Amino acid sequence: MLQHAAPDGSLPDPGRRPRVALETTVLSHGLPWPANRDLARDLHGILLEMGVDASTSAVLGGALRCNLSLDETLLFCTGSESSPTAEPGGPRDMARSPQDTPVKTSLANLPAVLASGARGATTVATTMLAAHRAGIRVMATGGIGGVHLRLHAPEPLDESADLLALSRYPITVVCAGPKAILDVAATRERLETLGVPVVGYGTDCLPAFYCGETPHAVDVRCNSAAEVARIVRERDRMGLCAAILVVVPHTGDTALDWDEVQNVVRTAMTAPAARALAPSGVTPYLLDAVRARLGARALEANMELLKRNARVAGLLAQHLF
């Protein structure tokens, strides 16, 4: 196992292992049952086989944590009460009812969720905070939030707290780029303004979640975790506060074509149902439109890219340990 000194010159505790932070909103709000349960198990298994701890984040027991066990993680896998279970009566396979869905917890509502004692599923932004507080240097997720599309120009700008967190917490986030239903061009510009380096893992083009590539360029291409780790160490040596965003293109049979997804988005934006939407309702509406049009292809792509990102994050955590 590679071991590297921390910025203060100390070596890691030999009894500890590399860690990768994982979010819980993808389980509670992003994927249906039982795909969310299967993904939670798969991500823990992938990292375990690599000798890396899956450090899942959530608000649980009135605390922001980044060390959930697999059983605790599965509490955030929501679904229908009538969903079949592989192990009847077993706590690991009990699908949560929609009424029992955890609160989606970002930076703005984190204090209120903590004060209420509710279970909170952490977004990318809140997981970055939890990871930074826990001393975890790498996080894996699917796609980051960014600048949202607007139905009409006068509408106020809707921007994800993920961008603020990326400018604030100096960890390394491994993802498949911004979600394809966002204003990807504006998101790319915003990342540059915030001083967030965008590192393409084996790619010169920015991917967009399901889509392996977009017309937008990354800042630098790296072909190995070792190359990325060198950039991370230079960021740390300079004392820069922004995260490093490592974007991994989703390739293979489950990758979706950028133009195809954009056509779905454009059609949905001009549909009569879109006219009455508040700004906060645009993104869920577009996600539903993509899923309705692409069906199982979208779910399969989502699952595969999350597992691919976990593997890359595991490699990077090993190099930074």
The reported pLDDT for the residue numbered 241 is 95
Residues 186-209 have pLDDT tens digits of 999 999 999 999 999 999 999 999
By CB neighbour count within 10 A (0-12 exposed, 13-18 middle, 19+ buried), where does 279 fall? middle
| Catalytic status, residue 179 | yes
* Residue tagged active-site, from 23, 72, 227, 300: 23
pLDDT band at residue 84 using 50, 70 and 90 as cut-offs? very low
Percentage of residues of the chain with pLDDT beyond 70: 87
Query: Is the predicted pLDDT of residue 4 greater than 60, yes or no?
Result: no
Residues 19-62 have pLDDT tens digits of 999 999 999 988 989 999 999 999 999 999 999 999 999 999 99
The reported pLDDT for the residue numbered 7 is 42
| Catalytic status, residue 307 | no
**Those residues with Cβ within 8 angstroms of residue 141's Cβ, 6 or more apart along the chain or in another chain:** 22, 23, 26, 124, 127, 173, 174, 175, 306, 309
Q: Which range (62-71, 73-82, 104-113, 194-203) has the least confidence?
A: 73-82
Domains of the chain, each with CATH number or no CATH: 19-320 (3.40.1790.10)
Q: By the 8 A CB rule, do 198 and 188 touch?
A: yes
The reported pLDDT for the residue numbered 219 is 98
Tokens of residue 65, six digits: 């944590």
* Residue tagged active-site, from 81, 87, 104, 179: 179
Q: Phi, psi at residue 10, to the nearest 5°?
A: -80, 155
CA angle at 162 for the pair 111 and 6, rounded to the nearest 5°: 90
Average pLDDT of the residues in 10-16: 53
* Among 204, 199, 155, CA closest to 316: 199
Tokens of residue 261, six digits: 């997804």
Residue 78 forms beta bridges with which residues? 96
